[in-house]
Amino acid sequence: MEAFFFSIGVIIAGGTLPLMLHRHFTLMKTVGVLSISAGCLIGLTNSLFQLFRPETDAVSFKYLHAFSLSFVIDGLSAFFLVPVFFVSFLAALYSFHYLNTPEKSFRTAASYLFFSLLIASMTLVVTAANIITFMLFWEIMSLSSFFLVVYDYHKIETRKAGYLYFVFSHAGAMLILSAFGLMYGFSGSFGFDGAAILPEWVKIVVFVLAFAGFGSKAGVFPFHVWLPHAHPAAPSHISAVMSGVMIKIGIYGILRMYVALNYHAPLFGEILVIAGMISGILGVVYALAQQDIKRMLAYSSIENMGIILIGLGIGMIGMSSGNPLMAVLGFAGSLLHVLNHSIFKSLLFMGAGIVIKKTGTHSIDALGGLMKKMRITGMTFLIGSLAISGLPPLNGFVGEFFIYLGGFKGVGLDKLSFVLSLMAIISLAVIGGLALACFTKVVGVVFQGEPRSESAVKADEKEPMMLIPMVVLAALCPIIGVFPKAVFLMAIRGVSALNLGYGRIPFSPFLEMTENISQAAAVFLLIVFCMLALRFFLYRQKTITRTGTWGCGFTRPTVKMQYTGSSYARSITDFFKPVTALNEDHPAVQGVFPAKTYYSSHARDIAERYMESVFVHPVLFFFDKLRWIQQGDIHPYIGYILLAIVILLFFV
């Protein structure tokens, strides 16, 4: 535990020192990055060590006399600590070259402060062992990430994003607090472990409330509205941390509540599976429809949260129906996906960050051909895309594979569990296919083909500190994909902390599965290698000519003729028409010599649309109607006093 707090101390120091050094830009960045990354490394080693230790560490401090700040590192906490420290470490490195405007020296320093606070609060939330501690650091986490989101507050979209994020995180916190309040109300103790004695109906209410609250942080549909706004608005290393790890804290919250309540109602699993399916499918459909590269990645995070939730739901269904194998597979699969998603999503955000920085545009349809100028970025982005599409032999597949296996175990169950397992499997399949379409679109349009605009022509990549983290992350994807054993053991450690009542979870049946994956992946790589050799052999001493792309007989092709991302996605989004209504803007062509015209379209998020018309407008209308109270004349004001007295006297 000391090492844990020490690492947090170092991280915070990395946030405060830059504030003092903000006059020396490079020195400030060096100090900040070094300190934060060193702290993260210490924390990472410590949490790996903690993860494989049998006993849990607990520590408690007195707080404001009556309360205590207690922290516990059990398997679950340690499991979530790993990605938090790891991704933050790489994001800190990445920021060194990413934040390179000396004119904004002070703002950069402030961003390091909030960055360090964000890391610290995430780790403290994950280790918090009572309500007060949890809420305290949860709110600090929201607040510090908010400041990071509004880093570029000059842009109006950023301000809108920051506002949405702020309001949603507050509402989410209120929901969580109400769940905690109920817990405290019935148990009378602030600790999580007191929750096990609640009556059953209270447990259900608590779980539902907590799910809604944590779900809004995790970006679960329909509480996700803030996410596609906030993640693109933040600087890219922050997006990487937010999308890579911060939203997982919401998942952690759900799991922690599940552990604390120690109640295995089938309802929990059902809620999670259904929410997961909706988030997964809609998330990826919207991702496909996006034209902004970071927004698209943000929606893809929603999709992956859906996959994780499906896994958790399968685990909970397995738990409630007394199917240990299904439970462990579901939980372990989704924990694995938590880890994997944090790796490839932060990789993709970092890649997108470089692309945006170098080309100055967010729009997918304005880019193209970057693979030639940004080789490393392109390669790593490609690997990340393969991984996030869940393709073997990369890591994205591993988690999904276990979730599938768990889901198939559920097919053998009765009625509702069967239907849900069936739907879970089908939706995982559909999500997989759509994700593939989505990421082929991004890779194909952004990195391949020819540049579609001037800005995409003069891109380069020279900053090593931005490339190294991406290379590290990209290397991890195939490594975990081929040798999932180690991370799977980590996930099992996490699952055993879930208090499922199975005692020690045996490793052997699961290790066999990971062995299978390794073996198959190895065979596959062997085949690929043979094919490469074959190809090399076939091309010996052959004439290779280079020329323009064949235009099917069209002799003057231009880059404008290329297929764009929007047209690529159109047929699929049309298939999901009811939820992906397009907003089109296209002034009609008129007159003999028509002026230049344009066409723009974007898919509107159904939740966002209905949030306005179903919730925001009625609320505003209601409060508008109340405004006559303060109409300026003093006479009714005195009447209010009389009225209050008269009404109250009735009750005397």
Partner 1 sequence: MIESIILWILAICLSPFYAAVILKVKAFFGGKKGPPLLIHYFTLIKLMQKGSVYSNSTTFIFKMGPIASLSAALMALLFLPIAGRSPVLSFNGDVIFVLYVLGLGRFFTIAAAMDTASPFEGMGAAREAFFPIICEATMFMILILFFQLTGELTFAAYFTGIQTSGLWRVAGAPMLFVVMAFFIILLTENSRVPVDDPATHLELTMIHEVMVLDHSGPDFGLIELGAFIKLLFYSTFVARLICPIHAAHPFVNFVIFCAALSGVYVAIGVTESVMARFRMDRVSHFVLTSFALAFFATVITLEFVK
Partner 2 sequence: MIHPVDILLILVLLSVLFAFASSRLPVLIRILAFQGVVVSIVPFFLEHEMTAGGIIFTTATLTIRGIIIPWSFYSMIKKMGIKREVETIVSYNASVFASLLLIVAAPMLSHKFNMISFSGGTLITSTAITLVVAGMFLLMARRNAIAMVLGYIMMENGIYLIGTALSSGAQHIVEFGILLDVLAGVMIMAIMLQSIKQKYDNLDTAQLSKLKE
Partner 3 sequence: MLEIIFLIPFVAALAVFFLPATAGRVLLVLTGIIHLLMTIMVWTIRPEAIFPDYFALSAAGLLSLIVISLLFFLISVYTAEYLKQSHIRQENIFTGSMLLFLSTMTMVTISDHIMVMWIAIEATTLTSAPLIFTHKTSTALEATWKYVLICSVGIAMALLGSVLITLAMDVGHVKTAVSFSALTEAAKQLDPTWLKAGFVFIFVGYGTKMGLAPMHTWLPDAHSEAPSPASALLSGVLLNCAYLGIFKTNKIMVAAGLGDFSGTILMVFGLMSILAAATFIIKQTEYKRMLAYSSIENMGIIAFGTGIGGIGAYGAILCLIHHSLIKSSLFLTSGNIHSGYHSWFIDKIGQLPARMPKTFVAFFAGFAAIAGFPPFGLFIGELLIIVGAFRAGHYTMAAIFMLSLCFIFAGLSNQVFKMSFGDVSEDITSPTPEKACLVWPQYALLLTSLALCVWMPDILYQTIMAAAAAMGGGF
Tell me if 367 sits within 8 A of 445, measured CB to CB: yes
Beta-bridge partner residues of 60? 70
Our finding on whether 636 is near partner 2 (CB under 8 A) is yes
Binding partner 2 (rule: CB under 8 A), the pick from 412, 615, 639, 644 is: 639
Among positions 498-537, residues that touch partner 1 (CB under 8 A) are 513, 516-517, 519-520, 523-524, 527-528, 531-532, 534-535
Q: Which does 177 bind (CB under 5 to 8 A by kind): partner 1, partner 3, partner 2, none?
A: partner 3
Nearer Cβ to partner 3 (550/623): 623
Assess 450 for contact with partner 1 (CB under 8 A).
Answer: yes
Cβ 285 to partner 1 shortest distance, Å: 11
* Ordered DSSP codes for 495-521: HHTT--S--SPPSHHHHHHHHHHHHHH
163 binds, among partner 3, partner 2, partner 1, none (CB under 5 to 8 A by kind): partner 3
Measured at the CA of 271, the angle between CA 265 and CA 274, to 5 degrees, comes to 140
Q: How many other C-beta atoms can be found within 10 angstroms of the C-beta atom of residue 318?
A: 28
Site track 569-608 with partner 2 (rule: CB under 8 A), x = hit: ----------------------------------------
Backbone angles phi, psi at 601, to 5 degrees: -145, 150
Min dist. Cβ of residue 317 to partner 1 (A): 15
Q: Is the peptide bond before 509 cis (omega within 30 degrees of 0)?
A: no
547 vs 630 by CB, closer to partner 2 = 630
Residue for token pair 């707080």: 63
The b/e string for 33-71 (b: 16+ C-beta within 10 A; e otherwise) is bbbbbbbbebbbebbbebbeeeeebeeeeeeeeeebbbb
Euclidean distance between the first and the last CA atom of the chain, given in angstroms as a whole number = 58
Strand partners, 72: 58
Dihedral angle over CA of 622, 627, 629, 634, nearest 10: 180
Give the contacts of 297 (CB within 8 A, at least 6 positions apart).
Answer: 231, 232, 239, 243, 287, 345, 348, 349, 352
Half-sphere exposure of 529 (CA within 13 A, CB side): 6
In the bound state with partner 3, the residue whose beta carbon lies nearer, of 531 and 619, is: 619
Give the separation between CA 326 and CA 311, rounded to whole angstroms.
10
Q: Of 347-406, which residues contact partner 1 (CB under 8 A)?
A: 368-369, 371-372, 378, 382, 386, 389-392, 397, 401, 404-405
Nearer to partner 3, 595 or 641 (CB): 641
Binding site for partner 3 (CB under 8 A): 64-66, 131-132, 135-137, 139-140, 142-143, 150, 153-154, 159, 162-163, 166-167, 170-171, 174, 177-178, 180-182, 184-185, 188, 619-620, 623-624, 626-627, 629-630, 634, 637-638, 640-641, 643-645, 648-649, 651-652
Question: Whole-number minimum distance, CB 640 to partner 2, in Å?
Answer: 10
Q: Does 633 bind partner 2 (CB under 8 A)?
A: yes
From the list partner 1, partner 3, partner 2, none, partner contacted by residue 166 (C-beta under 5 to 8 A by kind)? partner 3
Q: How far is the CB of 290 from partner 1 (least distance, A)?
A: 16
Cα separations in angstroms, 312 against 213, 362, 425: 17, 34, 13
Q: Is 621 in the site for partner 2 (CB under 8 A)?
A: no
Among 154, 156, 501, 550, binds partner 1 (CB under 8 A): 550
In terms of Cβ atoms closer than 10 Å to its own Cβ (0-12, 13-18, 19+), residue 509 is exposed
CB of 652 to partner 2, least distance (A): 8
Find which of partner 2, partner 1, partner 3, none residue 5 binds, CB within 5 to 8 Å per kind.
Answer: none
Quick one: what does residue 188 bind among partner 1, partner 3, partner 2, none, with the CB cut-off 5 to 8 Å set by partner type?
A: partner 3
Report d(CA 246, CA 345) in Å as an integer: 12
293 counts as binding partner 1 under rule CB under 8 A: no
Rounded distance, CA 168 to CA 174, Å?
Answer: 10
* 625 binds partner 2 per the rule CB under 8 A: no
Site residues for partner 2 per CB under 8 A: 627, 629-636, 638-639, 641-642
